[in-house]
Structure 1
Amino acid sequence: MKKFVFISILMSLIFLAGCQEKPQPDERLEAYVKLWNDQEFAEMHSGYLSQSAKETYSEEEFSERAKDLYTDLEVKNLQVKFDKPEEEQEWDDQESATFPVEIKMTTLAGDIQYEKEVELVKETKEDQENWYLNWDPSLILPDLEQGDKVRIQTVPAERGDIKDREGIALAVNGQAYEIGVVPEKFDKANMQKVADLLETTPDYIEEQMNQSWVQPEHFVPLKKIPMTNRDLAVELTSITGVFNQKVEAREYPYGEATAHIIGYTGKITAEEYEELKDKGYSDQAVIGKRGLEELFEEKLRGTDGKVILIEKESGDAVTIATKEVKQGEDVKLTIDANLQKELYEQMKDETGTAAALNPNTGEVLSMISVPSFDPNEFALGISSTKYKALQDNPDQPLLNRVVNAYSPGSTMKPITAAIGLNSGKLDPAKAYTIEGKQWQKDESWGGYKVTRVFDNDTKVDLESALKFSDNIYFARAGLDMGADTFQQGLKNFGFGEDIPFAYPITASQITNEGEINKEILLADSAYGQGQILMSVLHLTSSYGAIINDGIMMKPLLIAGAEQEVWKNDLLSKENAELLKTDLRKVVTEGIAGKAAVEGKAIAGKTGTAEIKSEQGTTGTENGLFVSYDQDNPEFVLAMLLENVEDRGGSTHTVEVTKKFYQNW
């Protein structure tokens, strides 16, 4: 019985073996294509290549080359398509079979798509007959043959320029001096002198000269310096063995005057590359690091062109993919380069910020932060010594004061007046009786009192309060209009919301908590102290609303952008005219008399913001002056200077502003 069972099983196995289907070439190719799409190169080589293909292409050459090429060419979305024939074909008597495959991929130079005839041959290996591919390199890339080299050419995109309203370049693709030495001509006795002039070290120069590629007759680059620093280039090249050559570089013609707003470019860091490499950046890319260079990086940088070439042993080249270069776009600003430069010249020895804006259009003509720095040095690679000096400078030249919010001091008073007039809760003819320099509402204020600078008037109306910047008048006016009305008026002026501007500016605040919940805080806020904070740009825009008859325009930085109303109905035309008259009298009859300029009708309001911990203590002071020429109100200018407590307070800011108007 057991013998019968054994014979039955054996016969069954023989029967199944005899009925097993022979391998078919289309099925083998179908399996190979699946591995190909999965990029399983090792298995493709070991199990599917013909003997002749294996002898010609080792597993390393086959697998590693394919992997490396796909990586270098940034191949994505690889799709190899084989349509298996619908009609069955008899292959027993055939020794070879040919089928078309379609190969698609996306590369760093665009899409590659081509068809290839794939030949399979019948071979017997280990007593088993099967079909194997006669593989060749053109299955990796079209027209690729053994011995060919694949090259990637980059066509650099030109970075767009940043220009002012008249097309004057503020950031441009220019040139720089590249300073270097030729070792066989350079006397190392001058090493320290060159190092000092380049603000580097002898060790650094030695390190550059000892690089593996350097030959005695080679030019060894050491440092790039701005074209504006020609005197330094001349001094350096007067040293034997020191030479210069002109190289492409980002250039900032207005230097320190536009540094904070324009920013600068620099080589991408490792951290930045990890974040940006999927957006087409290389590890050698130059990117915007600060200001508008960073803010408009995507628009300015453009996209490099790419070409994938196959170089034949004959020297011929075959282009298999091309991505056209896309040049960076220019950015044209509303900034007036000449106004920016003149304003900077008057402020460059100060610490502070300023902004100028056209009240009728909202176009921002100037934004200044001082002290400043030279963006050309950053773009070319600032020395560690100079960078540390900037960092350690107590005046903080790297700080962009344009974006910060400050206490507006008494420049807040015209805004408070506008809120009161528009709400109907401030009568400009009403005079408060104010005696002495200090006042408090009642004993509930404890020891806290509001102090005014001048006590020449005892009957103080709006005109007098503005001319002589009376804190007590505005404290009482604020209390009379009430916290709700005052806060709503501030919100109508844009407090507590983001400034709708292309450049990020800190939002103005009413209080630290967001609302006024105490009488003393209301009184202080109404004359510009308390916890109110404003940027100079918002301050400028707010005065623009007075000049523009109650309409505050959206501040614009990009030339050609649509002019839009940001806030409307902030003042009636009648009340706007009243405030404009009073602002002129601040100069002709009031405390800003030193702002008077021959040939101009300067109007405005001064302000002193005390930076101290509590009443009764001393601290630093910021001096402010917001002004415009009533005869030609093409712009309103707000200037804030820090640490003016020993320089005449806000009068110092008035004097600096006056110098600007005299030269403009």
Structure 2
Amino acid sequence: MEKKMRAIILLLFVLILSACQDEPQPAPEAESEEEAVQVSEEQIAAQARLTEFIGLWQQKDFVQMYDSYLNEGTKGAFGKELFVDWQQELHRELAIQNLAVNVGEPASDAEWSRELPADFKLELAMDSAGGPVEFTKTMSLLYENDNWFVEWDPSFILPGLERGDTVSAVKELAPRADIVDRNGKGIAVNAVGYEVGVIPEKFDEKRIADVAALLDITPAEITTKLGKSWVQPHFYVPLAHIREDQAVLDQLFAIPGTVRNELTLRSYPFGEPLSHISGFVGPITAEQLAERKGTGYETDDVIGRRGLEESFEDELRGVTAGRILIQKANSGETVTASEREAAQGEALKLSLDAELQKRIYNAMDGKSGTAAAIDPKTGEVLALVSSPGFNPNLFIPNIAQSRYRELANDPRLVFFNRFAAAYTPGAALNPLVAAAGLEAGTVEPDATNKTIGATANNLYDSQLQAQGSEAFAKRLADFGFGEAMPFTIELTPSTLSQNGAPGAAGQVQANILHLAALYTAFQNGGSVYEPTLLAGETPKVWLDSVISEANIEPLEAAMRESIDGFTGSLSLIKAQGNENGLFIGYPTEEPPYVLALLVEDVENEDAVAQKVEEIFNK
């Protein structure tokens, strides 16, 4: 009986539950389609206005930002002058560049309504004179006058910045890195120098001419500086920078009212012999400043102006230290908005032997010409000379216009880099033409001496005819003619003629380093390594097996006839009414390097041979 009652109760419960489930339930009240679209439209509209504002911000169009995007409250609080002029001034003085603004995703519970601010989290990053600046800040847009407008304050320029604060940038240049030779000897280094000035009330203006002569400037330059509007009798007035020269310093500071401050100046210890390699630094020009806009350079900076100082400017300069300081208007406290530590540049170690370079330059004795010395087993360039050179120290800190004109008008063309130029090689090409003939079978091994001893024109023309223009051109192209030689410094490519096709021997042009490199093949089993200027570079074959090993011995035997004790070529080449003397070769016994030496306007071969003897025998 009890079991039946339980079954009846359970059945009634199931029936009641089923009846409840079958009864229709009221559906949850859905948002109207119009309301959903309205929320989406407000979000899209606010984000679109923010995107437009950021675009103008990155373009530094502060006028348009103010006129079309700031809300009335911001305009009333700060005004157009502060918003536009102050931002323009700060961006210029702090060298603010590369502004990046990343807009974060809105919060999932964000309410989008015209009655509420639309808040966006911004991640800001920029480069400045004080280093990178990064911060996060929320920007609000308010709906007024039928659109969304930005609520702004000065802390969007720099974190913590307020109206009335004073902003300044402090810069400290990193020491410029040295350029040294293979033995660590300085080619371009930092040395002690002095800024020299006067205190007007203690200085007798009758001594202006004396001071000008010692500083190598004009009296008019001193008078102009003393007449500047900011000058007061007790102020220090800087006049010029000079290198450390005790005799000059003693004379200067015997004159009452003169003052000196120690500083660092660039110095070139080897002077003229390495001038076309080192180059020099000088004040940055307006053109260079425009080219490097946004990279941290300012109008008072120095920059590499020639040679390796220019080519490796980025590596040598390093990273300038900088700080952006905000002096608070309310408390007077100074806070650091951003800071970047200085990092010295990378020292540049060369394969060059500065003493060998100096020896070759001095042996040329001021004659116009060029030279190259290469280690045949590695391709390392041990010397690369252009004569005459100039003294790069004259450009530190800044050369006088009169002195520059004097150098620029020097008939010896001291600024012309001859090792980067191309010359007619004449009979120096004979061993290579003979090698091409041996490879082609158009020169007999037992006739090598006679072949190399032929005039350049006769040998070149005969092989051109014997091999045919196309085959002959291809064999000479194997020696690198018609292509740019891989090298740190740009050199004029060697060519067979202006149109690239073989013509007469006199049309061939080659730079001195290429010629020296080609003669290294005789000591490398017929291959040529890429010439390298930077120390530590891994030797790499440039021209592979351009001379077969079987042909090297007869060619070397023939070349031993040029100069007693040397293997190579010595010849005179007619050039523009004069004769250039050209030697390429190496001592027959224990050759330390291959030397190519070209001296312009010589009387005979002996004039060149004497210089070769002087270079190798010292």
Normalising by structure 2, we get a TM-score of 0.81
Q: What secondary structure is seen at the aligned counterpart in 2 of 1:145?
A: coil
User: Would you say 1:143 and 2:129 are equivalent positions?
Assistant: no
- The corresponding residue for 2:536 is 560
Residue 633 (structure 1) aligned with residue 618 (structure 2): no
The runs of 5 or more residues in structure 2 that have no matched partner are: 1-37, 58-63
Give the alignment of 1:155-554 within 5 angstroms. Answer: 155-227=172-244, 229-313=245-329, 314-430=331-447, 462-463=448-449, 466=452, 474=459, 478=463, 481-484=466-469, 485-517=471-503, 521=504, 525=505, 530-554=506-530
Which residue number in structure 2 is paired with residue 456 of structure 1? none
**Partner in structure 1 of residue 66 of structure 2:** 42
Find the aligned partners of 2:146 and 2:493 in 1 and give their Cα distance.
79
Query: What is the SS of the residue equivalent to 2:316?
Result: helix
1:337 and 1:309 map into 2 onto residues whose CA distance is 46
CA distances 1:495-547 after superposition (whole Å, capped 9, x unpaired): 11111111111111112332235xxx3xxx2xxxx211111101101111122
Distance 1:513 1:87, change over 3 A: closer
Residue 606 of structure 1 aligns with which residue? 570
Mean alpha-carbon deviation: is it higher for 537-546 or for 654-663? 654-663
Query: Could you tell me which residue of structure 1 aligns to residue 608 of structure 2?
Result: 653
Answer yes or no: is the 8 Å Cα contact 2:172–2:342 preserved in 1. yes
Give yes or no for contact 1:183–1:241 (8 Å, CA) kept in 2: yes
Q: Which residue of 2 aligns with 1:114?
A: 136
Asked if the contact 1:26–1:84 (Cα under 8 Å) also holds between the matched residues in 2, the reply is no
AA at the equivalent of 1:333: L
Give SS of 2:319's match: coil
Instruction: Give the match's secondary structure for 2:377.
Output: coil
Amino acid of the residue matched to residue 661 of structure 1?
F
Contact 2:275 2:389 in 1 (8 A): yes
Query: Partners of 2:320 and 2:164 in 1: how far apart?
Result: 29
CA distance, structure 2, for counterparts of residue 89 and residue 545 of structure 1: 78
Alpha carbons of 1:101 and 1:308: their partners in 2 closer, same or farther (altered >3 Å)?
Answer: farther
CA distance in 1: counterparts of 2:205 and 2:360, whole angstroms:
46
SS of aligned partner of 2:188? strand
CA contact (8 A) 2:433 2:460 kept: no
Cα deviation, 1:127-173, whole Å, max 9, x if unaligned, reads x9999998654354432233322333334333332221223221123
Q: 1:226, 1:557 → 2: CA distance?
A: 29
1:129 and 1:380 map into 2 onto residues whose CA distance is 61
Q: Distance in 2 between matches of 1:483 and 1:222?
A: 69
SS at match of 1:585: coil
Q: Which amino acid aligns with 2:126?
A: T
The 1:323/1:554 distance shift into structure 2, 3 A limit, reads: same
Q: Work out the CA distance in 2 between the residues paired with 1:403 and 1:89.
A: 68
Give yes or no for contact 1:35–1:41 (8 Å, CA) kept in 2.
no
Partners in 2 of 1:335 and 1:477 — Cα distance? 39
**Is this contact kept in 2: 1:32–1:44, CA < 8 A?**
no
> Residues 428 and 476 (structure 1 numbering): CA distance in 2 closer, same or farther, change over 3 Å?
farther
Q: Structure 2 CA distance, aligned partners of 1:494 and 1:131? A: 67
User: Matches of 2:154 and 2:107 in 1, distance apart?
Assistant: 23
Tell me if 1:102 matches 2:125: no
Aligned length: 565
Mapped partners of 1:29, 1:476: distance in 2: 80
Match of residue 616 from structure 1:
none
Q: Structure 2 CA distance, aligned partners of 1:186 and 1:479? A: 77
Out of 571, 578, 588, the position equivalent to 2:547 is: 571
Relative to 1, partners in 2 of residues 1:398 and 1:234: Cα closer, same or farther, differing over 3 Å? farther
Give the whole-Å Cα distance in 1 for the aligned partners of 2:179 and 2:212.
34
Separation in structure 2 between the aligned mates of residue 129 and residue 295 of structure 1, nearest angstrom = 57
Pick the aligned partner of 1:624 from 582, 593, 598. 582
TM-score of the pair, normalised by structure 1: 0.76
Quote the Cα distance in structure 2 between the aligned partners of 1:636 and 1:192. Answer: 53
For 1:447, the equivalent position in structure 2 comes to none
Report the 3-state secondary structure (helix = DSSP H, G, I; strand = E; otherwise coil) of the residue aligned with 1:366. Answer: strand
Relative to structure 1, the CA distance from residue 472 to residue 495 in structure 2 (aligned partners, 3 Å threshold; closer, same or farther) is closer
Identity rate of aligned residues, in percent?
34
SS in 2 for 1:507: coil
What does residue 106 of structure 2 align with?
83
1:431-452 deviation digits (Å, cap 9, x = unpaired):
xxxxxxxxxxxxxxxxxxxxxx
Write the deviation string for residues 473-507 of structure 1: whole angstroms up to 9, x where unpaired.
73675366434344333211111111111111111
One-letter amino acid matched to 2:416: L
CA distance in structure 1 between the aligned counterparts of 2:456 and 2:52, rounded to whole angstroms: 82
Amino acid at match of 1:382: I
Describe the SS at the equivalent of 1:418. Answer: helix
- Three-state SS of the structure 1 residue aligned to 2:434 is helix
- Kept in 2, the 8 Å contact 1:41–1:62? The answer is no
Question: Alpha carbons of 1:179 and 1:631: their partners in 2 closer, same or farther (altered >3 Å)?
Answer: farther
Task: Please state how far the C-alpha of 1:318 moved relative to its aligned partner.
Answer: 3.1
What's the counterpart of residue 439 of structure 1?
none
SS of alignment partner, residue 103 of structure 1: strand
In 2 relative to 1, CA 353–562 (structure 1 residues): closer, same or farther, beyond 3 Å? same
Cα pair distance change 1:224/1:469, threshold 3 Å: farther
Give the Cα–Cα distance (whole angstroms) in 2 for the partners of residues 345 and 226 of structure 1: 25
TM superposition shift of 1:356 = 0.4
CA distance in 2, matches of 1:339, 1:42: 66
Structure 1 unmatched ranges of 5 or more: 1-20, 431-461, 589-600, 613-618
Secondary structure at the aligned position of 1:279 is classed as coil
Q: What is the alpha-carbon root mean square deviation over aligned residues?
A: 3.6
Q: What's 1:615 paired with?
A: none
Task: Answer with 545-554 or 152-161: which moved more.
Answer: 152-161
